[in-house]
Structure 1
Amino acid sequence: MQALATQDVMPTGTTRSPHELIRSTALQMFVERGYQSVSLRQLASAIGMQAGSLYNHIESKDALLFELIEAYETDLLQALPGKLLILCDPLKALNAFIKSHVAFTFEHRQRWLLARLEYRCLTASQQGRIHALRQDTAERLGAILQAGMDQGRFVKVPVKTMVPCMLAMLNEISSWHSPGHTSSLTTTVGLHTKMIHAVLLPTAMPTATGSTEH
């Protein structure tokens, strides 16, 4: 089995709990082999544990998959700009949203892949929870667009149409960064910021593409 991706390895000298080890190993195996192709026996073997012992740390394989995807969507949402920045400066909030979203998917590519590829394996109720988290992310972006329009800083756009289009673009960024790809995070953030500014900002308004910090 290959070494874990950098973003999924605990800091040097840090001892991971059995649950953390199960999560990180399951993440890699589910992504590399496919969720349906990995048995709990295989997962236990990969971490040097008896299959029955896994149940001391996880409820089930299904619950483990849901936990991994829910944690990804929750962490992504928490990385995005909050309501105070949105109301005070919608343009700065927009730039922060783009940068945060790109950086998060860039740094957590395995988690992004799992959330995209194995969502279909969740139960209906689990999918409902993930959909609610994704809707919270969409509403955060929608609030930015609406605040910008209300303040006359963005051109008028149909928010319900624009939000899914922008998120579709941002959610696919991680697929650009396969091994050997040379585009840097800074380059990718700048490119997407320019494209989104071109749609939202009046032509007379400076795009301020360099202002992508929080």
Structure 2
Amino acid sequence: MARTIGSHGPTTLEAIRKAGVRLIFEHGYEAMSLRQLAAEVGIQAGSLYNHISTKQELLFDLVQDHMNDLLRELDVALAGKTDPADRLRAFVAFHVTYHMTRKREVFIVNSELRSLEPKHYEAMVTLRGVYEQRLAQILSDGVAEGVFEVVDIQVATFAILALLTGLCSWYRPGGRLTREAIIAAHEKLVLSGVAPHAAAAAPRKTAKRARNLVAG
């Protein structure tokens, strides 16, 4: 049943955005109509234009906000860390946690980037490149300091991101493993791939989480 919330102010815009995320996630961008979106929010279809100009604008805003949040929150997660191995662990923990808690937004970005108009697409690919460069820089710094052994930084960057983002296809809240155990497993996989010695020297707490994962 459609919710009746009126058609005024930021509350309605937020409701439109949340409904847009859910409908695009469940049905896809092309299949979602503005009439369907308006009904979900509980307003007349014409009232949508008080808050968004087009369906394309809504998609762009959702993707752009996701990418900006991703970059901003990553910088917070990395703040104060200088050791490459610590920064890589922090990157892995952040990426895995973000993708577990923001699964719908991540899915939309990954599956609907192609639905953006060319100028919007290029802008978002640029932001995605900035995120990728954060990881590439960590790997490069580790190689320069003799901590990491990486044959090709770009290949390693894409491989790590593919590994970490893959959990979106299988992770379900309330499963056998805790979030902490899942993070510990990914940390071990990534560190052992680029720095076996750094993985072995991981904090005892992380090692204990990994053992608990195997035992579970």
Q: TM-score, normalised to structure 1's length?
A: 0.84
User: Structure 1: which 5+ residue stretches go unaligned?
Assistant: 3-14
Code of the aligned partner of 2:38? A
1:119 aligns with 113
Q: Do the aligned partners of residues 205 and 179 (structure 1) sit closer, same or farther apart at CA in structure 2, a change above 3 Å counting?
A: closer
More deviation, 131-140/77-86:
77-86
Structure with bigger RCO (C-alpha 8 Å, 6+ apart)? 1
Asked if 1:51 corresponds to 2:45, the answer is yes
User: Structure 2: which 5+ residue stretches go unaligned?
Assistant: 3-8, 208-216
Q: Do the aligned partners of residues 160 and 85 (structure 1) sit closer, same or farther apart at CA in structure 2, a change above 3 Å counting?
A: farther
Secondary structure class of the residue paired with 2:147: coil
Q: Do the aligned partners of residues 67 and 191 (structure 1) sit closer, same or farther apart at CA in structure 2, a change above 3 Å counting?
A: same
Residues 98-134 of structure 1 deviation map (CA, whole Å, 9 limit, x = unaligned): 0000000100111111111211111111111111111
Counterpart contact for 2:147–2:198, Cα < 8 Å: no
1:185 aligns with 179
Counterpart contact for 2:92–2:164, Cα < 8 Å: yes
Counterpart contact for 2:192–2:199, Cα < 8 Å: no
Match for 2:19 among 16, 25, 30?
25
Secondary structure class of the residue paired with 2:53: coil
Aligned-residue sequence identity (percent) comes to 32
Q: Which 4+ residue blocks in structure 1 deviate beyond 6 angstroms?
A: none
Cα offset for 1:137?
Answer: 0.8
Match for 2:83 among 74, 86, 89?
89
Residues 26-51 of structure 1 deviation map (CA, whole Å, 9 limit, x = unaligned): 11011111111111111111111111
How far apart, in 2, do the equivalents of 1:95 and 1:211 lie? Answer: 10
2:139 aligns with 145
Higher helix share: 2
1:5 aligns with none
Cα RMSD for the two superposed structures: 2.5
Secondary structure class of the residue paired with 1:59: coil
How far apart, in 2, do the equivalents of 1:191 and 1:154 lie? Answer: 19
User: What is the correspondence of 1:172-211 to structure 2 with a 5 Å cutoff?
Assistant: 172-178=166-172, 181-203=175-197, 206-208=200-202, 210=205
Aligned length: 200
More deviation, 189-198/151-160:
151-160
Residues 56-115 of structure 1 deviation map (CA, whole Å, 9 limit, x = unaligned): 1112101101111111122112221467646x2111111110000000010011111111
User: What is the correspondence of 1:61-140 to structure 2 with a 5 Å cutoff?
Assistant: 61-81=55-75, 85=80, 88-140=82-134
Counterpart contact for 1:85–1:93, Cα < 8 Å: no
How far apart, in 1, do the equivalents of 2:58 and 2:89 lie? Answer: 34
Q: TM-score, normalised to structure 2's length?
A: 0.83
Counterpart contact for 2:184–2:206, Cα < 8 Å: no
Q: Do the aligned partners of residues 204 and 172 (structure 1) sit closer, same or farther apart at CA in structure 2, a change above 3 Å counting?
A: closer
